[in-house]
Amino acid sequence: MLTTNFLDFDFDNPFMNASGVHCMTTSELDELAVSNAGAYIMKSATPEKRDGNPAPRYFDVPLGSINSMGLPNLGFKYYLEYALQQQERTERPLFFSVAGMSVAENIAMLKEIEASDFKGVTELNLSCPNVPGKPQVAYDFELTDKTLSRIFEFFTKPLGVKLPPYFDMAHFDQMAAILNKYPLTYVNSINSIGNGLYIDPTSDQVVIKPKDGFGGIGGEYVKPTALANVRAFYTRLKPEIKIIGTGGIITGQDAYEHLLCGATMLQVGTQLQKEGPMIFDRLQEELTAIMKAKGYKTIADFRGQLKTIA
Ligand code: RRO
């Protein structure tokens, strides 16, 4: 019932982890591989291993989460080696995430992916909000355009981009016009809402150490923004560019709403961190129940069919 065709492959269901959650080490990745997630993605890689920001750097709060991890990861080679091993064991495409600290670093990693035997899809993270002194690339429209233009001079494998949330209709229009120039496989909206601030009510203190408590917000807080971004890009991008919907998926109803806005695959961050990989069983049961109640047999029956008021 939840089968999802993406990248010419039938995934059992549309659910995945969001990059960053439960995917830093091979043991976490192995747990996702055997879970009931339809697919999974690795932590965004930089060319070399990074320790990231000082702890505490991730904090669960009642309506979501705040993080300033600072791109801790085990380095590009670690993830490429894992991906090459895993793809020998399965037909299911793997998702590889890269987040270079500069255009040159992104180009260098993508050149290695292009030259390797990697057969999956690469997600270029243009929206990390947490590296001190490094603005989110995709808030700089010219830099995004230049980066993609340089990448598609040589990159021929499937590529998606992870975007930050936008909050203005003019920005949706401008970013969609840039993305439509390139042979992208997908757009993933949204990364965390950057640089929020959460205050502990008893201690009058921030809850994470880096950047005096400022960090990316995820979870229930971000669903309306995520749905708006999914819808805005679904209605503006050429049909070859699919949408991965990420942000505020806690229940089957949230997943259903992302699909109604036009998402093809769905990623779960904050709530996966709270519940662990068993969440994928619950989300599938809840989404299936909603589809049955509404008389839908497949996701294609309602994907993108959001109603507006005449
Ligand atoms: O590692 C992080 O701090 C991080 C990244 Br790269 C990202 O893309 N989104 C996020 O919320 N945290």
Q: What is the CATH number of the domain that holds 295?
A: 3.20.20.70
Domain count, the chain: 1
CA of 13: how far to CAs of 81, 156, 283, 284, in Å?
Answer: 26, 26, 10, 8
Active site residue 128: yes
67 is in an annotated binding site: yes
CA–CA separation, 173 vs 177, rounded Å?
Answer: 6
pLDDT of residue 156: 98
Instruction: Using the mean position of ligand 1's atoms as its centre, give its distance from the Cα of residue 73 in Å.
Output: 11
**Dihedrals phi, psi of 142, to nearest 5 degrees:** -65, -40
Residue 182's domain comprises 4-52+71-194+220-301
- Is 215 a member of any domain? no
204 domain residue, yes or no: no
User: Which residue among the candidates 21, 128, 131, 260 is catalytic per the annotation?
Assistant: 128
What pLDDT is attached to residue 134?
82
100, part of any domain? yes
Residue 302 has pLDDT above 90, yes or no: yes
Mean pLDDT along residues 250-267:
99
pLDDT of residue 138: 97
Average pLDDT, the chain: 97
Is position 247 annotated in a ligand binding site?
yes
Residue 135's pLDDT is 87
Residue 201, domain member (yes or no): no
Q: Is residue 250 part of a domain?
A: yes
Residue 68 marked ligand-binding: yes
Q: Is 40 exposed, middle or buried (0-12, 13-18, 19+ CB in 10 A)?
A: buried
Mean pLDDT of 205-221: 98
Q: pLDDT of 4-14, one tens digit each?
A: 999 999 999 99
Pairing of strands 58-61, 64-67: antiparallel
Distance CA 101, CA 189 (A): 20
In a domain, 199, yes or no: no
Ligand 1 neighbour 164 (Cβ under 6 A): no
Output the pTM of the full model. 0.98
Is the predicted pLDDT of residue 51 greater than 90, yes or no? yes
Q: Which residues contact 218 (CB under 8 A, 6 or more apart)?
A: 18, 64, 65, 66, 67, 192, 193, 247, 248, 269, 270
In short, whether 273's Cβ falls inside 6 Å of ligand 1 is no
Residue 290 assigned to a binding site: no
pLDDT at 33: 98
Q: What is the token pair recorded at 192? A: 């965390």
Q: Is residue 171 part of a domain?
A: yes
Distance 150 CA to ligand 1 centre (A): 24
Q: Could you give the angle at the alpha carbon of 252 between the alpha carbons of 251 and 254, nearest 5°? A: 65
Ligand 1: nearest atom to the Cα of 216: 11
Distance, CA 308 to ligand 1 centroid (Å)? 33
CB of 241 within 6 A of ligand 1: the answer is no
Residue 46 lies in a domain: yes
Contact (CB, 8 A) for 64 and 217? yes
Q: Tens digit of pLDDT for each residue in 92-141?
A: 999 999 999 999 999 999 999 999 999 999 999 999 988 888 889 999 99
Return the bridge partners of 64, or none. Answer: 61
The protein residue with its alpha carbon nearest to ligand 1, atom 1, reads 71
pLDDT in tens, 153-201: 999 999 999 999 999 999 999 999 999 999 999 999 999 999 999 999 9
Quick: pLDDT tens for 271-290: 999 999 999 999 999 999 99
Give mean pLDDT, residues 13-29: 98
Q: Is the CB of 125 inside a 6 Å radius of any atom of ligand 1?
A: yes
Mutate-to-test residue for ligand 1 from 17, 23, 44, 217, highest number of ligand atoms within 8 A of CB: 44
203 labelled binding-site residue: no
Residue 275, both tokens: 């519940």
Cβ atoms within 10 Å, residue 64: 25
Q: Please tell me if the CB atom of residue 130 comes closer than 6 angstroms to any atom of ligand 1.
A: yes
